[in-house]
């Protein structure tokens, strides 16, 4: 379990089974922020509703503002009306759940505040509610070090002991390799790496978790999942919205840091990794790291040939005129920050040698969608070419991560009639049609995994640092280079011309995500 050195961590990928959870207290630092009201409390409420929480638990919000237990509960109840994934809120569940919610007012920098927190936890009893502690750091990363040191000094965080304590932290995990290493050193100064849960909410999505199940439990597909059968792979994560009021953040991050370093490289690792030796958490995470380390290093010349950045200018989306990125709030009028990035990566291992992996993500594109497309090699063009010509499409498997989650297999079929006509057709699997509408939110699953001590869905230190090595090499290749005309794109289009040029180098084209309803 996370925080227990001797126990093996067993992944949840192997099938539905109840999580073994012990009574504990969950302490949320920065509890007055949006994350708590929008994600954390709704997630914990739904875990209660689904009978997934421990038999006994407490939730303590720690923040600077003056509030009572009752006033904070009332605030959270109003937020739940807005952010719960099921409505109306079940009053009985909320009443039972809210009795376990408490508020601790204090400043993150003051010793007295942590003594007050320790006193509140002690008041819950001398057993697991005082000893088994999950600290959720919903604060700025710059505050992590001080919070961790303070809770250690207050006797609430220990590296060894019969009980467990765990730290949950949100991305960004640094802004480059050096800062990531410094942050990891802070996180592990008073805690073991096994006690740290780095959350990337993408890994909590049901469809992302299904990638490994689909690959490794279906022999008809796994035997095709290699360089012998696959022509190339496309991973697309698009957003219909622009930067909006996040201009200040985006000027520091850009699409490469915001999306590629975490979400997209994680999806790539799951799609391309080797089968783990078991479903133990470390076995799964070992294979992800091995895959990321197999990505071919990029020199500045490679970056110029294999990486495309883009930036949107004013355009029309759904009949509405959108401003250009340089006209957004808190954005420099001559900014070269990328709102779009496309990559061609190669994985230097036995399975994927020579196969290009294309990744793209961007803002202000025609739709919000996430999809992985495995395109297979075309058949020899000797039987049907004369009559079918270009209509004979290569086979493909698309894993739709969102929306309308599912999987479809694209193949060629004969058009009914006397002539030999061909048309691409699909076999379509829809989550909603097959399993019903219930799909837990990512934070529900991630919080449950943290409470249960399953590390599978959390990012390990070496994963973070390996991903930053890749991103840093790209940023080094871009240094002091201005965007070219071929790297700008109108809001509401699929990206810059340079991204099409990237695929055309090998005779490939982008395939736009398609929303296929059951």
Please tell me whether residues 157 and 49 are part of one structural domain.
yes
Q: What is the pLDDT of residue 424?
A: 74
Q: Is residue 103 part of a domain?
A: yes
Q: Is residue 1 part of a domain?
A: no
Please tell me whether residues 151 and 31 are part of one structural domain.
yes
Pair 296, 344: CB distance under 8 Å? no
Please report, for the domain that includes residue 29, its CATH number.
Answer: 3.40.50.720
Please tell me whether residues 186 and 212 are part of one structural domain.
no
Mean pLDDT within 468-485: 94
Mean pLDDT within 496-514: 93
Q: Is residue 160 part of a domain?
A: yes
Mean pLDDT within 304-309: 96
Please tell me whether residues 154 and 211 are part of one structural domain.
no
Mean pLDDT within 305-312: 96
Q: Which pLDDT band, with edges at 50, 70 and 90, does 11 fall under?
A: very low
pLDDT of 324 strictly over 90: yes
Q: Which stretch of 268-282, 299-313, 438-452, 476-490 has the lowest confidence by average pLDDT? A: 438-452
pLDDT tens per residue across span 249-259: 899 999 999 99
Question: How many other β-carbons are positioned within 10 Å of the β-carbon of residue 34?
Answer: 11
Q: What is the pLDDT of residue 10?
A: 42
pLDDT of 8 strictly over 50: no
Please tell me whether residues 241 and 162 are part of one structural domain.
no
pLDDT of 20 strictly over 90: no
pLDDT of 517 strictly over 70: no
Please tell me whether residues 192 and 236 are part of one structural domain.
no
Q: Which long-range contacts (CB under 8 A, 24 or more apart) does 294-300 make?
A: 294/347, 294/348, 294/349, 294/352, 295/345, 295/346, 295/347, 295/348, 295/470, 296/345, 296/346, 296/347, 296/348, 297/473, 298/470, 298/473, 298/474, 298/477, 299/473, 299/477, 300/476, 300/477
**Rounded-to-integer distance, Cα 243 and Cα 448, Å:** 31
Mean pLDDT within 402-408: 86
Please tell me whether residues 228 and 354 are part of one structural domain.
yes
Q: Which stretch of 97-106, 191-200, 412-421 has the lowest confidence by average pLDDT? A: 412-421
pLDDT of 5 strictly over 60: no
**Any idea which residues carry the catalytic annotation?**
263
Q: What is the pLDDT of residue 320?
A: 87
pLDDT tens per residue across span 112-130: 999 999 999 999 988 899 9
Q: Is residue 395 part of a domain?
A: no
Q: What is the pLDDT of residue 297?
A: 95
pLDDT tens per residue across span 365-376: 999 999 999 999
Q: Which pLDDT band, with edges at 50, 70 and 90, does 13 fall under?
A: very low
pTM above 0.85, yes or no: yes
Q: What is the pLDDT of residue 448?
A: 94
Among 168, 184, 199, identify where a domain stops. 199
pLDDT of 21 strictly over 90: no
Q: Which residue, chain included where needed, has tokens 């050096």?
A: 178
Structural domain boundaries, residue 167: 24-199
**Rounded-to-integer distance, Cα 160 and Cα 514, Å:** 51
Which residues, other chains included, contact 408 with Cβ-Cβ below 8 Å and sequence gap of 6+? 397, 398, 400, 426, 427, 428, 429, 516
pLDDT of 391 strictly over 90: no
Mean pLDDT within 223-228: 94
Tokens of residue 181, six digits: 């290493």
Kindly report the average pLDDT of the chain as a whole number: 89
Q: Is residue 2 part of a domain?
A: no
Q: Which pLDDT band, with edges at 50, 70 and 90, does 430 fall under?
A: confident
pLDDT of 477 strictly over 60: yes
Count of domains observed in the chain: 2
Please tell me whether residues 142 and 290 are part of one structural domain.
no
Among 152, 184, 199, identify where a domain stops. 199
Please tell me whether residues 95 and 244 are part of one structural domain.
no
Q: What is the pLDDT of residue 48?
A: 94
pLDDT of 393 strictly over 80: no
Among 169, 199, 229, identify where a domain stops. 199
What DSSP designation does 480 have?
T
Please tell me whether residues 144 and 257 are part of one structural domain.
no
Q: Which pLDDT band, with edges at 50, 70 and 90, does 387 fall under?
A: low
Q: Is residue 301 part of a domain?
A: yes
Q: Is residue 285 part of a domain?
A: yes
Number of helical (H) and strand (E) elements in the chain, helices listed first: 19, 17
Q: What is the pLDDT of residue 383?
A: 66
pLDDT tens per residue across span 134-150: 999 999 888 999 999 99
Q: What is the pLDDT of residue 516?
A: 61
Q: Which stretch of 62-76, 170-184, 221-235, 416-430 has the lowest confidence by average pLDDT? A: 416-430
Please tell me whether residues 317 and 336 are part of one structural domain.
yes
SS3 for 70-121 is: HHHHHHHHHHHHHHCCCCCCCHHHHHHHHCCEEEEECCCCCHHHHHHHHHHH
For the ranges 31-35, 351-355, 512-516, the maximum mean pLDDT occurs at 351-355
Please report, for the domain that includes residue 365, its CATH number.
Answer: 3.30.360.10
Q: Is residue 78 part of a domain?
A: yes
Please tell me whether residues 368 and 484 are part of one structural domain.
yes
Q: What is the pLDDT of residue 518?
A: 52
Mean pLDDT within 329-356: 96
Which residues make beta-bridge pairs with 322?
A: 315
């Amino acid at each position: 379990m996370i925080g227990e050195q001797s126990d093996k961590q067993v992944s949840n990928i192997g099938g539905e089974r109840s999580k073994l959870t012990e009574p504990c207290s969950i302490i949320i630092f920065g509890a007055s922020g949006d994350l708590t009201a929008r994600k954390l409390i709704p997630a914990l409420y739904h875990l209660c509703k689904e009978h997934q929480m421990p038999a006994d638990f407490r939730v303590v919000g720690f923040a600077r503002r003056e509030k009572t237990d009752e006033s904070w509960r009332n605030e959270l109840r109003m937020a739940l009306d807005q952010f719960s994934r099921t409505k109306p809120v079940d009053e009985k569940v909320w009443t039972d759940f809210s009795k376990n919610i408490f508020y601790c007012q204090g400043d993150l920098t003051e010793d007295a505040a942590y003594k007050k927190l320790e006193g509140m936890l002690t008041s819950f009893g001398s057993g697991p509610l005082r000893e088994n502690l999950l600290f959720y750091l919903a604060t700025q990363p710059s505050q992590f070090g001080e919070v961790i040191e303070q809770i250690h000094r207050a006797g609430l965080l220990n590296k060894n002991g019969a009980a467990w304590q765990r730290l949950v932290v949100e991305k960004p995990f640094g802004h480059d390799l050096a800062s990531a290493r410094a942050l990891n050193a802070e996180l592990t100064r008073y805690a073991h790496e096994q006690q740290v849960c780095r959350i990337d909410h993408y890994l909590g999505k049901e469809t992302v978790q299904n990638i490994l199940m689909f690959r490794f439990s279906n022999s008809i597909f796994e035997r095709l999942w290699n360089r012998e059968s696959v022509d190339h792979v496309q991973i697309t994560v698009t957003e219909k919205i622009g930067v909006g009021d996040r201009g200040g953040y985006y000027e520091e991050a850009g699409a490469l840091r915001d999306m590629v370093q975490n979400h997209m490289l994680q999806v790539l690792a799951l799609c391309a990794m080797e089968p783990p030796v078991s479903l133990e958490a470390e076995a799964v995470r070992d294979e992800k790291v091995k895959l990321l380390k197999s990505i071919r290093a990029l020199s500045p010349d490679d970056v110029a040939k294999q990486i495309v950045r883009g930036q949107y200018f004013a355009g029309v989306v759904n009949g509405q005129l959108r401003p250009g990125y340089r006209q957004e709030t808190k954005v420099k009028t001559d900014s070269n920050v990328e709102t779009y990035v496309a990559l061609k990566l190669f994985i230097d291992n036995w399975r994927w040698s020579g196969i290009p992996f294309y990744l793209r993500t961007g803002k202000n594109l025609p739709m919000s969608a996430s999809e992985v497309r495995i395109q297979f090699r075309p058949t020899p063009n000797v039987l049907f070419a004369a009559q079918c010509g270009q209509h004979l499409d290569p086979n493909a498997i698309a894993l739709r991560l969102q929306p309308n989650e599912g999987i479809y297999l694209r193949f060629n079929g004969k058009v009914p009639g006397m002539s030999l006509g061909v048309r691409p057709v699909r076999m379509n699997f829809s989550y909603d049609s097959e399993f019903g509408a219930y799909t837990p939110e990512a934070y529900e699953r991630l919080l449950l995994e943290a409470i249960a001590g399953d590390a599978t869905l959390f990012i390990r230190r070496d994963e973070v640092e390996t991903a930053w090595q890749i991103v840093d090499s790209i940023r080094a290749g871009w240094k002091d280079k201005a965007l070219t005309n071929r790297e700008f794109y109108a809001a509401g289009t699929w990206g810059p011309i340079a991204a099409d040029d990237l695929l055309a180098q090998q005779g490939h084209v982008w395939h736009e995500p398609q929303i296929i309803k059951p």
